[in-house]
Structure 1
């Protein structure tokens, strides 16, 4: 069973290498790696070129923001599930994919785990608790977190290709998309009870820096 990993990047020369290495060092896993660059000019492409033989698809061109780039990547995704591990983010260890999918015999459209947040003070573990399994009200869906990070979410690729990310939500399109997949699909969501990724919050994510608006 193949998993697609997508990295969206723009002018991230200081962090892109650790993201790439965390993907290509995954052991005992069937995967494809797709990198979508927003036409970086700071040397990011030079780093990517060092590992180009490990990358199945590499696209570098201007786009309309992070979610536009994520939508673009779906044209090339051929795995059963897809996860977005963007520049600076990384898998928590080199066997997380094989741990999650080694006994794959389920049809959940959403599979999620915990996340470590990395900031200037170190690492903080955030346990996940999906809002969807608690019969949320419309108010809950608007005002509460979905309970996990997209860096630790594997989504059934076929469903994501149907739904896509809504570019009208430059910051919260991932939340909107996950909710639409859950409520219009088979409503099967699996918590794997382990950390999946390390979210790079050292410089602030898209919601802090508004990099989702224009890349």
Structure 2
């Protein structure tokens, strides 16, 4: 029984929710911890929160880490506070720090984080946790949808299977990833943009994973989003310099070969899908 949605807001996750009856009472549903880092994203935050809570997952731990927003975010968080496991509203050292603090409080068997300008699609928690239970994998990932805030257009972000050999090629849709807490590792807090990419290099390789070839989340494409902002180009470059430094992940001698083979792989998958 969440607060009523803002006037004019309809559909998922406003006046629609995942049917609680989908969760078989005979199953001991493992605890799922979701962390939301946020800073001055009031325009999107309520949708993010509702899309977590209205999954109606029966064993949810939801942690919201707000870095001291001054745009009305706190009022939104307080509106849903009775359904949030823990929230914090104070200055932090950035997104990576906020995520690490959130997961340091986790008691869940499975982890995921969703940024405050993204949101999960309906029924995703049931789909993902059922997959974990049935397959005993360590990592579950899927497609995503990019929603252009300016034009209103949606684009399916269809990715390729995430293999160990091609792990250096960015590909995962961050809000469409979930993992067993036993393989969790802290985020490298020196990174500003490529924090999820670097995490996958450490966290995913060598672990069993399952690819759900369906969209699991929606990412809002807007001028302030790190992934799409021209202002972030220099910061992205700085992050990658740090990641591939000799004292970090090290220089990759076969970049050209990996990129070439990935282009072939991409083309083959494209041809296969078109048939």
Q: TM-score range by the shorter chain?
A: 0.7 to 0.9
- Residues 36-76 of structure 1 show CA distances to partners (whole Å, capped at 9, x for unaligned) of 00011111101110000010010121111111111111111
Alpha-carbon distance between aligned partners in 2 of 1:88 and 1:182, rounded to the nearest angstrom: 24
Aligned to 2:226: 206
Aligned to 1:30: 59
Query: Scaled by the length of structure 2, what TM-score is found?
Result: 0.67
Higher relative contact order (CA 8 A, sep 6+): 1
Q: Which of structure 1's runs of 4+ aligned residues deviate more than 4 A?
A: none
Higher mean C-alpha deviation, range 26-35 or range 172-181: 26-35
Are the counterparts in 2 of residues 112 and 154 from structure 1 also a CA contact under 8 Å? yes
Are the counterparts in 2 of residues 83 and 153 from structure 1 also a CA contact under 8 Å? yes
1:10-159 correspondence to structure 2 within 5 Å: 10-93=39-122, 95-102=123-130, 104-119=133-148, 120-121=150-151, 122-133=153-164, 135-136=165-166, 141=168, 144-145=169-170, 147-159=171-183
Q: Quote how far apart the aligned CAs of 1:108 are.
A: 2.2
1:109 to 1:47, Cα distance in 2 relative to 1, 3 A: same
Aligned to 1:176: 198
Query: Scaled by the length of structure 1, what TM-score is found?
Result: 0.85
Alpha-carbon distance between aligned partners in 1 of 2:58 and 2:140, rounded to the nearest angstrom: 16
Are the counterparts in 2 of residues 117 and 201 from structure 1 also a CA contact under 8 Å? yes
Alpha-carbon distance between aligned partners in 1 of 2:203 and 2:112, rounded to the nearest angstrom: 15
Question: CA-atom RMSD, angstroms?
Answer: 2.0
Aligned to 2:269: none
Are the counterparts in 2 of residues 10 and 38 from structure 1 also a CA contact under 8 Å? yes
- Residues 143-169 of structure 1 show CA distances to partners (whole Å, capped at 9, x for unaligned) of x32x22110000222322xx2111232
- Residues 89-140 of structure 1 show CA distances to partners (whole Å, capped at 9, x for unaligned) of 11111x111122235133322210110001123111111224425x23xxx7
Alpha-carbon distance between aligned partners in 1 of 2:155 and 2:109, rounded to the nearest angstrom: 30
Aligned to 2:261: none
Alpha-carbon distance between aligned partners in 1 of 2:191 and 2:172, rounded to the nearest angstrom: 18
Alpha-carbon distance between aligned partners in 2 of 1:179 and 1:37, rounded to the nearest angstrom: 27
Alpha-carbon distance between aligned partners in 2 of 1:67 and 1:27, rounded to the nearest angstrom: 27
Q: Structure 1: where are the runs of 5+ without partners?
A: none
Alpha-carbon distance between aligned partners in 1 of 2:204 and 2:179, rounded to the nearest angstrom: 10
Structure ranking higher in strand proportion: 1
Alpha-carbon distance between aligned partners in 2 of 1:3 and 1:83, rounded to the nearest angstrom: 8
Aligned to 2:4: none
Q: Quote how far apart the aligned CAs of 1:28 are.
A: 4.5
Alpha-carbon distance between aligned partners in 1 of 2:223 and 2:53, rounded to the nearest angstrom: 24
